[in-house]
Structures are given as structure tokens and as C-alpha cells.
Amino acid sequence: MLALEMARDGLLVPVESTQTAAQSSAAKKKTAALRSWISLDQDGEGTVLDLDKYAIIRRVQIHARDLRLLDPLLSYPSTILGREKVIVLNLEHIKAIITADEVLLRDPFDDNVLPIVEELQRRLPLVSANFQGQGEDEETSGVQKDVETDELKFPFEFRALEVALEGICSFLDARTRQLETDAYPALDELTSKISSRNLDRVRKLKSAMTRLTNRVQKVRDELEQLLDDDDDMADLYLSRKLVGTSPLSDLGAQNWSLASPTITIGSRVSKTSRASAATTAEENDVEELEMLLEAYFMQIESTLNKLTTLREYIDDTEDYINIQLDNHRNQLIQLELFLSSGTVCLSVYSLVAAIFGMNIPYTWKEDHGYVFKWVIIVTGVVCASLFLFIISYARHKGLVGS
């Protein structure tokens, strides 16, 4: 458009320079998309960032090999990795880095990512502890306090992880329902009328179903792998690890020791062992995260079952079509056998006619005109008997239907 406007104004624009400008503009847009991130804090406030991979590495202290999983130019399966201070999340279009107090989401302006950003902004802030109305009874107040307590106990990284899992499960389920809406009528139409257009339509739907099944299977396998390993689930407790390495915990332990100078060595050892046992039990307690992952594992399992049912329906339709094609093939074979039998009989009849039609003098031709009639009758009876014999033999062997 710029070149056209300049041409209207009487300015000459080289074609090569225009193409170069377009290519450079496309490259800049591509680079901007690769560098585009959004940061969401605990209050749900979002900040759009333009950072390269080195700035991201310095910001969240992540390894380059883990950040490579989030590169949109590279194809990696769905992955949930727990590291020392971050959770690396690669679920289809959802590529995020979750810390104990921040979520970094790649390519926030994508149409599929925008709902995730809005949901994070809505669900990351904790429920306000104060009521805004008047006249609430004690029961309602107790329920609200219980909800607040549950929200406070639920770590920030798990709230962000729940939004991501809910987003990817809903996305894949919506794609599955759309595929079902398109596939079932196409399959029913194919069974009623077998044509090249219907076959090509079902072929495309089957290819789309195979690709979608692989995507759903990868997410399911990743969740199953996490649920099978308690250590991997424990690595996702960023807030717990942050509290365990906090200097306030060491300061509290030191104050407790100074405030109790008269404790004996034996009691001090026993209390230390009990504290370590409690810490170990807390670190191995992954029930909260396990319940969260199981909920979305069941949801993705349900989506996979829908795709499995659709695949079975497609296989049944293919079997039915193959049976129909086999039936048509048998009918063609039967017709070919009839034609071949008739051709053989006509060939025998033609052979006799050719022999008797030769211009060769025979003694029996003199005063024996009735011989021609008998030859015609006998030859016809032999040919008809031969035809019936071939057909009955083919039916006896099951080559044709009755």
C-alpha cells in the first residue's frame, strides 16, 4: 500500500527495496512474537515484557535447555517440569514459567492464549477477607472463612498450574466435540452413499482425529507420569521449598535454641529428630497436588475415551463399507462367470458351424439335407447343457450366489 501511494505521488519505488522492506517487517513481527511475554503477579496484574531468552534466564534463573522447551519454533511434547525455583510448563499453545510469586506466559496476544491470560488475572488474586455487605449471618461468615482458609492454603504456583491444566483440557475437549460434530454425519452419509467426495471427506476427518488423539495422549501421559512419581510432584511445591530455604526459618530455630538454655542434650536430640521427621513428612505430602492432577487426568481421560469411541465408529464404518465392496465385487465376478460360460458355449457352436461350413466335398452331403437340422439341434443342446453344468458347479463351490 505504501508503494502504491508513493507511485500515485509520482515517486519511483524499486521493487527489490519494497520486497526487502516487507521481508524485514515480517522478520521484525516474527522476532517480536518470539520475544513477547506477559508477567502476572499474585494480584493478577499483568505486564507485557519484550525479553530475549538470556533476559528470561537471568530473570527466573532457569537453564537454557529448559527454556528451549518453550521455543515455538521447536516441536516438543507436552511437558511439566519441576525445577528448584520454577515450573516449566509446555502444554500445546500454553508455554509458561511459573515461580512462587510470578507467572511468565509466552505469546500473550495469541487467540488461544488470551483466555488463559484473562483466567489467570481473575483467579490468581486471593479472596478478600472482608465482607462488603451488611446483615450476613454467622453461618455464611463461617463458610466464607473456610473458603478463605482453603485459598490461603493453596499455593500460588498451584493456582496458576490449575488454570493452565483447565485451559488445555477444555481446549482439547472442545476440539474433540467439534470433530465429533463433523465426523458422525460424514460417516453416516458415507454408509448411505459411497462416493469419492465422501471418502475424501472421511479420510481428512480420520487424519485430523489421529493428530488430535496424539496430542491428547501426550498430555495424558505427562499427567500420568507425574502422578506415578511422588518426587516429581514434590518438586512442584515451590512455596514449600521457598519456606524451607528462607533465612527466617533458620532464625526461628536459632531463637528457639537461645530461649531454652536448660534443655538437655537428649531432649534436644529427640526434638531435632521429631522436627526432621515432621519436615520429611511435610515434604513427602503431595496429596493436595495429587488430587488436583487426578481431577484433570480424569478429564483428559474422558476426552481420550471420546476419541477412542470415534475411532471405533470409523473402523466399524470401514468394515461395513468393505463388506459392501466385497458384495459388489462378488456380483461382478458372478456376472463375469456367466459371460465367460456363454462365450465358451458360443465358441463350441461356432466351431461346429465352421467345420460344416467349409467348402469340402463330402459324400454324406448328397441326398441327406436333414443332417443340417440334426447338427443344429444337437449342438444347441450340448452348449446349453455345458452352460448349466458350469453354473451349477460354481454354485456348488460357493463361487456365486444362489
Q: What percent of the chain has pLDDT above 90?
A: 30
Return the minimum-mean-pLDDT range out of 15-19, 77-81, 171-175, 288-292. 15-19
**Mean model confidence pLDDT for the chain:** 75
Helix axes of 114-123 and 156-192: crossing angle, nearest 10 degrees: 140
pLDDT of residue 347: 81
Distance from C-alpha of 398 to C-alpha of 402, rounded to nearest angstrom: 9
Residue 106, CA distances (Å) to 46, 93, 280 in order: 13, 9, 35
Phi and psi at 21, nearest 5°, equal -65, -40
For residue 324, give every residue at least 6 positions away whose Cβ sits within 8 Å of its Cβ, in sequence order, or none.
194
Answer whether residue 291 shows pLDDT above 80: yes
Task: Give the H/E segment covering residue 51.
Answer: none
**CA distance between the termini of the chain:** 75
Domain range annotation of the chain: 29-123, 329-397
How far out from the chain centre does Cα 29 lie?
28
All three cell numbers of 213: 488423539
**Hey, which residues does 150 pair with through a beta bridge?**
none
Q: Which CATH architecture has domain 29-123?
A: Beta Barrel (2.40)
3-state secondary structure of 386: helix
Answer whether residue 71 shows pLDDT above 50: yes
Answer whether residue 129 shows pLDDT above 80: no
Band of the pLDDT at 138, cuts 50, 70, 90?
Answer: very low
Identify the top-confidence range among 148-152, 274-278, 302-306: 302-306
Distance from C-alpha of 305 to C-alpha of 324, rounded to nearest angstrom: 29
pTM tops 0.85: no
Answer whether residue 123 shows pLDDT above 80: yes
How many CA atoms lie within 13 Å of 335's alpha carbon, on the beta-carbon side?
6
DSSP annotation string for 304-366: HHHHHHHHHHHHHHHHHHHHHHHHHHHHHHHHHHHHHHHHHHHHHHHHHHHHHTS----GGGT
Give per-residue pLDDT as tens, 211-267: 999 999 999 999 999 999 888 898 898 888 877 654 444 434 344 333 333 333 344
Three-state secondary structure of 182-224:
HHHHHHHHHHHCCCHHHHHHHHHHHHHHHHHHHHHHHHHHHHH
Q: For the residues 32-40, what does the mean pLDDT come to?
A: 74
Determine contact, residues 115/167, Cβ cutoff 8 Å.
Answer: yes
